[in-house]
Amino acid sequence: MRKKILAGNWKMNHTGAAVQTVLTELVQTLPETKATLIIAPPFPYLAQAVSLTAHTPLHIAAQTMHWEEHGAFTGEVSPAMLVDIGVTHVLIGHSERREYNGETDRTVQQKVAAALQHGLTPIICCGETAQQRQAGRTDDLLGTQLRMALAKVRMADASRVIVAYEPIWAIGTGQTATVAQAQATCAFLRRQLAALYNSDIAATVPILYGGSMKADNAAALLAAADIDGGLIGGASLQAASFTAIIRAADTI
Ligand SMILES: O=C(CO)COP(=O)(O)O
């Protein structure tokens, strides 16, 4: 069985004092777990988060990055900078970045390649809107998002990525996808990985579900055959709600 991965995306939440409090509490109350644990705080607190979680099972992720090594890109952060401060993972192509910051399948492609080149693990986000799902376009759209994201990733590197399926209509809405919907779409993504590479790689790459995952729905979602973990927004902001999901994952 693939190891479970629980990743908390803090988005634009918490300032320094809260980062300190929540991560300290998380470290102190972390249950014994087989899952891989990741937290993605906002940029200004990444170094603080790396230091607070040193020698613990928690990995620190950035919420985005630029694909270039350095240069005239005001406001951007490069993969080399993230590696330099001890960040190990990076979210790429979150739907909020696509909607508000002009990210496209093309920039996602460049970022995924750059992350791998620098030894960062990309968490490639994909997802559809409610209208796209109603129009029956989900598989078509996600197939394109995944194919574009991986277009520059060679077979030898493909097993180093993490994929996250986040239906846009389920993010921050409390309207979680049903287990059947989430499982069917994650299984579709795995079949796409098999078509793009091979069945061994498809069986290795973790596929996470994200969108209103909470302690009370996590176990059912995480028990599905093709859901290997969660990308968690709101419920990752406090130590107690995140550890409750970790405990739920370990009941499977
Ligand atoms: O977008 C998400 C994580 O990246 C999901 O957010 P919520 O868990 O708050 O719905």
User: Closest ligand 1 atom to the C-alpha of 94?
Assistant: 4
Q: What is the pLDDT of residue 42?
A: 98
Question: Whole domain around residue 87: which residue ranges?
Answer: 5-249
pLDDT, averaged per 10 consecutive residues of the chain (252 residues), comes to: 93 98 97 96 98 97 97 98 98 98 97 98 97 96 98 97 97 91 97 98 98 96 97 98 96 88
Number of domains in the chain: 1
Known catalytic residue at 94: yes
Token pair 């995952």 is found at 213
Q: What is the pLDDT of residue 31?
A: 93
**Which residue among 99, 231, 237 is best mutated to probe the pocket of ligand 1, counting the most ligand atoms within 8 A of its Cβ?**
231
Q: Whose CA is nearest to atom 6 of ligand 1?
A: 233
Please check whether residue 241 is in contact with residue 235, taking contact to mean a CB–CB distance below 8 angstroms. yes
Q: Whose CA is nearest to atom 3 of ligand 1?
A: 233
Is the whole-model pTM more than 0.90?
A: yes
Residue 101 CA to its chain's centroid (Å): 18
Q: What is the pLDDT of residue 252?
A: 87
Ligand 1: centre distance to CA 232 (Å): 5
Burial class (CB in 10 A: 0-12, 13-18, 19+), 74: exposed
243 closest CA partner among 12, 2, 29, 14: 29
User: Closest ligand 1 atom to the C-alpha of 11?
Assistant: 4
Interhelix angle for 138-149 vs 105-117, to 10°? 40
Q: What is the pLDDT of residue 174?
A: 86
User: Closest ligand 1 atom to the C-alpha of 211?
Assistant: 10
Known catalytic residue at 14: no
Quick one: tokens of 196? 């793009």
Please give the DSSP secondary-structure letter assigned to residue 71: S
ipTM above 0.90, yes or no: yes
Q: Is 93 annotated as a binding residue?
A: no
Pocket of ligand 1 (CB under 6 A): 9, 94, 166, 171-172, 210-213, 231-235
Name the catalytic one among 59, 89, 94, 118: 94
Q: Is 8 annotated as a binding residue?
A: no
Token pair 């973990």 is found at 229
Q: What is the pLDDT of residue 124?
A: 98
- Domain harbouring 134, CATH code: 3.20.20.70
